Structure 1
Amino acid sequence: MEFSPFNTVVKLCIQGMSMEEQNKPAEAEKLFMQGWNEATNDVEKFLSAYYIARQQKTPSDQLKWLETALQYALKANDDTAESSFYTLYVKMAKCYEELSDPEKSKEYNELAISVKDKIFDKGPFYHGTRADLQIGDLLTAGGHSNYKSEFIMNHIYFTALVNGAGLAAALAKGIGSERVYIVEPTGHFENDPNLTDKKFPGNPTRSYRSEAPLKIIGEVTDWTKSNPEDLHKFREKLENNKGDIIN
């Protein structure tokens, strides 16, 4: 499954999180349960179960839903779900600690350590922009952020989701055509800390960053473009975001 903010279940989870922020747990759980009931694949089941777990009143009930989330994450065999293993293991370890089961808590803490900062993703990777570039060109850090123009970025960003790169191209500054390039990291890269383990568990947008250049090795021309209404809403959300960028 390619994670998208426009996916029906993802939208329901976002709405549920909004209810959590407004201290309306009953409304939040109702939306998460709707996501669970409307989920059509293992990744959607994993996501909705994860959020249902957050609404449970006891460690045993929370653990039950976290185990369900882990079951679907493992079953999915999907990079989006695999990126959440660290978060799931840490939360399950905490549940076992609260249930006075130190051996199980230790087991899941060790599992968490074993996957911390591990990137399962093998690509291919993409970068969205409005710049007209050629195969062999290098993309380097030092550009202005698409989201906060006053920021000079210390890293170059990319994703394994072609439609995610397409969205980045649509949001990019400039008047050029939206372009999605296939890129190859030339050095070490890491999960984008601005997105990883924030609203969603793990790195579902499969977003990464590197201080080393990205080499352009191709171009994609057939990604799915967001409809204008969704794109407008997404731009408004970004403009209203008061959070800091981890640079």
Structure 2
Amino acid sequence: MSAPATAFSQSFFHGTRADLRPGDMIAVGYQSNFVDTQLSWVYFAGTMDAAIWGAELAAGEGPERIYVVEPTGAWSDDPNVTDKRFAGNPTLSYRSRDPLRIIGEVVNWRGHSAEQIRGMKEAIARLTEEGNNVVID
């Protein structure tokens, strides 16, 4: 007799500085975390590391937050990551035109070192100066 099959459940995360609550929706039409424009997609990841970067690099002054989210519709790989940096999508980075529902908040997480964050922000600033910090929307 074989063991019964168990369902696999994937958790998804969204890093930001926005103050949200369970049941709230992250939807298109709001200011992006990273560029000075509204995007037509919402972004999320299947890894905590990608969400941590999202929170640490998000614009604003509020506390860094990571939410557990549930996509409410179809989603696809985020071409800003998979086409530009990580073939095969090892960061499990996705985007959707449909809202993400906040399920909960991850409160005990460890961020990157100040040196790593500074290095990433400097790299982004260089890309911006060169005109290469373009979001595929």
TM-superposed deviation, 1:224: 2.1
Tell me the amino acid that sits aligned with residue 246 of structure 1.
Answer: I
Q: Are the aligned partners of 2:34 and 2:59 in contact in 1 as well (CA < 8 Å)? A: no
Q: Does structure 1 residue 200 correspond to structure 2 residue 86? A: yes
Q: Does structure 1 residue 244 correspond to structure 2 residue 134? A: yes
Q: Does structure 1 residue 147 correspond to structure 2 residue 37? A: no
Q: Are the aligned partners of 1:163 and 1:223 in contact in 2 as well (CA < 8 Å)? A: no
- Cα–Cα, structure 1 residues 146 and 131, in superposed 2: closer, same or farther, change >3 Å? closer
- Cα–Cα, structure 1 residues 146 and 133, in superposed 2: closer, same or farther, change >3 Å? closer
2:112 to 203, 206, 226: 226
Give the structure-2-normalised TM-score.
0.84
1:187 to 55, 73, 79: 73
Q: List structure 1 segments (4+ residues) > 6 angstroms apart after TM superposition.
A: none
RMSD (Å) for aligned C-alpha atoms: 1.6
Bigger RCO of structures 1 and 2 (CA < 8 A, at least 6 apart): 2
Alpha-carbon distance in 2 for matches of 1:152, 1:206 = 23
- Residue-by-residue CA offset, 1:20-53 (whole Å, 9 max, x unaligned): xxxxxxxxxxxxxxxxxxxxxxxxxxxxxxxxxx
Alpha-carbon distance in 2 for matches of 1:172, 1:224 = 16
Secondary structure of 1:216's match?
Answer: strand
Q: Which has the higher helix share?
A: 1
Q: Which has the higher strand share?
A: 2
Q: Are the aligned partners of 1:147 and 1:239 in contact in 2 as well (CA < 8 Å)? A: no
TM-superposed deviation, 1:122: 5.3
Q: Are the aligned partners of 1:163 and 1:224 in contact in 2 as well (CA < 8 Å)? A: no
Correspondence for 2:61 = 175
Tell me the amino acid that sits aligned with residue 196 of structure 1.
Answer: T
Alpha-carbon distance in 1 for matches of 2:74, 2:97 = 8
- Residue-by-residue CA offset, 1:31-82 (whole Å, 9 max, x unaligned): xxxxxxxxxxxxxxxxxxxxxxxxxxxxxxxxxxxxxxxxxxxxxxxxxxxx
- Residue-by-residue CA offset, 1:70-102 (whole Å, 9 max, x unaligned): xxxxxxxxxxxxxxxxxxxxxxxxxxxxxxxxx
Q: Are the aligned partners of 2:16 and 2:33 in contact in 1 as well (CA < 8 Å)? A: no
- Structure 1: which 5+ runs fail to align? 1-120
Secondary structure of 2:79's match?
Answer: coil
Alpha-carbon distance in 2 for matches of 1:172, 1:243 = 15
2:99 to 203, 213, 229: 213
Give the structure-1-normalised TM-score.
0.48
Secondary structure of 1:195's match?
Answer: helix
Alpha-carbon distance in 2 for matches of 1:169, 1:243 = 18
- Cα–Cα, structure 1 residues 123 and 194, in superposed 2: closer, same or farther, change >3 Å? same
State the aligned residue count: 126
Alpha-carbon distance in 1 for matches of 2:121, 2:22 = 30
Tell me the amino acid that sits aligned with residue 125 of structure 1.
Answer: F
Pick the structure with greater CA Rg.
1
Identity value in percent: 44
1:15-164 equivalence runs, <5 A: 123-149=10-36, 151-164=37-50
Alpha-carbon distance in 2 for matches of 1:181, 1:218 = 6
Secondary structure of 2:60's match?
Answer: coil
